[in-house]
Amino acid sequence: MSSVTTRKSTWQSTLAWLSQDFAEGSSPPFLLKYRSSKWLILTTICMAVFTDIFLYGLIVPVIPFALEQRSGVPPQRTQYWVSLLIAIYGAALITFSPVCGYLADRSTSRRLPLIVGLLALAGATVMLNVGNSIAALVTGRVLQGVSAAVVWVVGLALLADTVGKEAIGQAMGWVGMSMSLGILASPLLGGVVYDRAGYNAVFAMAYVLIGVDILLRLVMVERKIAVRWLPEEEEGGKEKGDVEGGVATPPPRDRDVASSPERAETEKEQPGAVIAPTTTTRTDSHSDAAPPTQRRATLPPVLSLLASRRLLAALWGCLAQATLMTCFDSVLPLHVHETFGWTSLGAGLIFLPITIPSFLAPLAGWISDRYGPRWPATAGFILAAPCFVCLRFVTASSLQTKVLLCALLAVLGLALASAMPPLMAEITYVVQAKERKRPGSFGERGAYAQAYGLFNMAFAGGCLVGPIWAGLVRERAGWGTMGWSLGALSAVSAVPVAVWVGGFIGGKGERVKGRGKGS
């Protein structure tokens, strides 16, 4: 009986350590100020995104050989199983994203789910490495989808908790850049290392990345935990619109909340909604008593979020952006091979023009923080539309058409990099606007994770639709039709983004003008 009690106590202690559930009156963690800094947390999330994307793309050039040589799949069935494994990953990502969001918003720690997700990624990597059956590969891809859901949902929610609305756009820009680095480096390194050093060497890179990721996630301390010993972190965060416990905490105001722009916007979002009377009573940030305006939402947080036209417009923009970003995966290598006679090396390098501009994503995020998300995102979609249409001119093998293709891809990369960070930041803005309208309506820990769960579903849906759309249209109607159809999608998507992202264009919605300038 004592051994059972001992094991139970050890398990509880380990769980408390992983979730950083420190006892009252305990001494602060070592180097707390640095371990809870915004830059370390941002670095940890960016590393998590990079690792997830890198490990996803690392095995793309390896899977066909693994299926034939290790799993005994006939060559004529290889394409079928490759497509199925890609679909399984996407299905797992879409399925588990809302689940992860729901659980993360009810967890006392963002760090614990991130570590669990990393363990799932490690398990997936091991199964893909040593597995020699279809069942092992399928299970590995499911675990990869689960890990990606945790990283994107919980990681982005933690980022929103940490940086606040004044810098969320720029932070999402760094996340977008990390994703682009993973997309760029993984297939190239995977193919080269597999060709030169073999199957196991490919996964050796993966294990090194997972080790670095584990170290960062264990070192990181959430800011809401650090405020127990560093009260200046809490005070500074509130002055800049940071959050506490996952719920946005705006600075105190001397005027009636009913006259605020955010309140006007939320009234426009939900016509007929009954707004409870408010007062200017201030509450102590450490008080357990709820403010006079606090009341519970009658709808679950996910349904309440989906009632926002702002959020629906942002989700549509994310789905369209992911569709336009991934559409080339299934058609560009084949097109340059058939048109220019390029080998696999040239087919891989042609993705450089569209990937390199993504390094400007933090700049697009900074512009979003300063001037609002509406116009950077809208400009990205408008700029991309004619570029897709002009792809119809890349049909002959000449120096001019090669230069034209590279130029069009570079502008497309710039356009898509301009759209992504503002749309990701808008998810945070919507949650904060709704929380200001009805404080406490999303519960003690807010709804950031559930909101980013919806974002993840939209983004994953776009990643599934893009390659299928481009591949089927090109096969049945040609390269030119594929280009103008995607251009039409980009142009149409600019309309809801321009009208609703950042608040209804005809109203007085929230508009971020810059750090410390208010709304």
Domains and CATH numbers, the chain: 29-245 (1.20.1250.20), 253-268+294-519 (1.20.1250.20)
Q: How many beta carbons lie within 10 A of that of residue 337, not counting itself?
A: 15
Tokens of 396: 């002959």
Nearest CA-CA partner of 206 in 50, 72, 354: 50
Helix-helix angle 448-477:134-163, to 10 degrees: 130
Residue 405 tokens, joined: 């293709």
Compute φ and ψ for 248, nearest 5 degrees. -65, 135
Burial class (CB in 10 A: 0-12, 13-18, 19+), 338: exposed
More confident: 473 or 78: 473
Average pLDDT, integer, range 229-234: 62
CA angle 446, 447, 453 (to 5 degrees): 155
Please, are residues 38 and 130 in contact by the beta-carbon 8 Å criterion?
A: no
Lowest pLDDT segment from 4-18, 217-231, 428-442: 4-18
| 360-374: pLDDT as tens digits | 888 988 998 888 899
The end-to-end CA distance of the chain, in Å, is 60
Residue 457 has pLDDT above 70, yes or no: yes
Q: Is the pLDDT of residue 286 over 50?
A: no
3-state class of 247 per DSSP?
strand
For residue 46, pLDDT beyond 60: yes
Mean pLDDT for 52-70 is 78
- The answer, yes or no, to whether residue 16 has pLDDT greater than 90, is no
Is residue 248 very low, low, confident or very high in pLDDT (cuts 50, 70, 90)? very low
Using a pLDDT cut of 90, give the percent of the chain over it: 18
**pLDDT reported for residue 212:** 92
CA 310, 314, 318 angle in degrees (round to 5)?
A: 170
pLDDT of residue 38: 87
Would you state the pLDDT for residue 268?
Answer: 45
Task: Please give the residue that has the higher pLDDT: either 8 or 331.
Answer: 331
For residue 276, pLDDT beyond 70: no
Mean pLDDT, residues 277-305: 51
Q: What is the pLDDT of residue 313?
A: 95
464 class by beta-carbon count within 10 Å (0-12 exposed, 13-18 middle, 19+ buried): buried
| Cβ atoms of 146 and 92 closer than 8 Å | yes
Least confident of 131-140, 225-234, 272-281: 272-281
Q: Which comes out higher in pLDDT, residue 14 or 403?
A: 403
Average confidence (pLDDT) over 288-303: 54
d(CA 458, CA 462): 6
- 236, pLDDT greater than 70: no
Q: Look at 165 and 85; give whichever has higher pLDDT.
A: 85
Residue 490 has pLDDT above 90, yes or no: yes
Average pLDDT of the residues in 247-251:
41
Q: What is the pLDDT of residues 346-361, one digit of tens each?
A: 777 788 888 888 888 8
- Residue 206: which residues within 8 A CB-CB, separation 6 or more? 54, 55, 58, 125, 129
Q: What is the reported pTM?
A: 0.70
What is the pLDDT at residue 264? Answer: 44
Specify the DSSP class assigned to residue 302: H
Question: In which band, very low, low, confident or very high, does the pLDDT at 486 lie, cut at 50, 70 and 90?
Answer: very high
The pLDDT assigned to 493 comes to 95
Per-residue confidence (pLDDT) for residue 3, from 0 to 100: 60
Between 31 and 469, name the one with better pLDDT.
469
User: Does residue 379 surpass a pLDDT of 90?
Assistant: yes
Confidence tier at 239 by pLDDT (50, 70, 90): very low
Q: For 260-269, 378-387, 503-512, which range has the lowest pLDDT when averaged over its residues?
A: 260-269
Predicted pLDDT of residue 411: 95
Give every CB contact of residue 183 below 8 A, 6+ residues apart in sequence. 53, 57, 355
Q: What is the pLDDT at residue 386?
A: 96
Q: What is residue 240's predicted lDDT score, i.e. its pLDDT? A: 41
269 has pLDDT over 50: no
Dihedral, CA of residue 429, residue 434, residue 439 and residue 445, to nearest 10: -60
pLDDT tops 70 at residue 267:
no
Containing 170, the helix (H) or strand (E) segment is: helix 168-197
435: confidence class by pLDDT, cuts 50, 70, 90:
confident
Across 183-217, b (16+ Cβ under 10 Å) vs e yields bbbbbbbbbebbeeeeeeebbebbeebbeebbebb
The pLDDT-based confidence of 259 (bands split at 50, 70, 90) is very low
CB 360, CB 366: distance < 8 Å: no
Mean pLDDT of the chain: 77
CA-based nearest residue to 377, from 497, 502, 506: 497
Q: What is the pLDDT at residue 262? A: 42
Average pLDDT over residues 258-267: 42
